[in-house]
Amino acid sequence: MPIPRYAVIGHPVAHSLSPFIHATFSRQAGIPLEYVAIDAAPDAFDAVLAEHAAHGGAGANVTLPHKRRAAAICGNLSDRARRAGVVNTLIRTATGWDGDNTDGVGLVRDLTDRHGQDLRSRKVLLIGAGGAAHGVAPALLDAGIADLFIVNRSGDRTDALADALGEPMRVHPRYFRDLGTIGSFDLIINATSIGHSGEDMPLPGSLIAPRCDVVDLGYGEAAIAFLSWARASGADHTIDGLGMLVEQAAESFKCWHGVRPDADAVYAALRARESALAVPG
């Protein structure tokens, strides 16, 4: 019987840790599988996914910039994917693809279970209105935050995300020009590439309330600049996106195989590898 094939599809995607993560989950669960990274330019997603299916693809993770398109090609969406409007997990069926989104549950599980965060009644700033922001926003609301302020470079996208969430009493679209006047926050989440390219940080330190925690959904070098700004501005805890990456992957694995692997063991292994690479040789 052929080994089922899975993939992460994105552009760029060569840096992805997902093949390592799912190979480790496979060994944990005793479930043989092949998992590869596939680069697909923005206009090539449909063709790449069709080729993946033709070669035995039973599922796929989807990352930048394809999450919205992935939702559009699905015959069925889970409730959380429907609310998010974007898909990061595809499940092959007899008639096509079903879609799910595990980003939100991955972020909340990392923050609450691994980092001991209590999200209830917190005033949250979400920077970004793209696929990652769409994926995590509904889960933050479900976790009981008091207010969600959304800012993005494109006002139209900010308004679209706020409208899609459908909670005008708790969700507040704002714009980058408002950042100096909207007050401070208990939790700030960066769902953009701000700081990932070494540019100056266009954010005022006044956003950081006492005991504010700051999260960048990126990890490794990509998260350094944003989290450094947060620490310099007085943030209490700073958290990168590695834990979320592992948790959303574990949830995807469960979607495909009905078994939730040990995410903590994989997270620890990735942190150990990160530390080893940081030590001068």
Q: Is 103 annotated as a binding residue?
A: yes
Active site amino acids: 67
Q: Is 118 annotated as a binding residue?
A: no
Residues with Cβ within 8 Å of residue 14, at least 6 apart in sequence: 37, 39
d(CA 193, CA 191): 7
d(CA 243, CA 239): 9
Which residue, chain included where needed, has tokens 């974007």? 86
Q: Is 248 annotated as a binding residue?
A: yes
What is the Cβ-side half-sphere exposure of residue 177, based on CA atoms within 13 angstroms? 2
- Would strands 96-100 and 76-77 be described as parallel, antiparallel, or unpaired? parallel
Q: Which of 193, 204, 56, 50 is nearest to 130 (CA)?
A: 193
Q: Is 28 annotated as a binding residue?
A: no
Q: Is 39 annotated as a binding residue?
A: no
Q: Is 30 annotated as a binding residue?
A: no
Q: Is 88 annotated as a binding residue?
A: yes
Question: Which residues are bridge partners to 125 per DSSP?
Answer: 149, 188
Q: Is 195 annotated as a binding residue?
A: no
Which parts are annotated binding residues? 16-18, 63, 79, 88, 103, 128-132, 217, 219, 241, 248
Which parts are annotated binding residues for shikimate? 16-18, 63, 88, 103, 219, 248
Which parts are annotated binding residues for NADP(+)? 79, 128-132, 217, 241
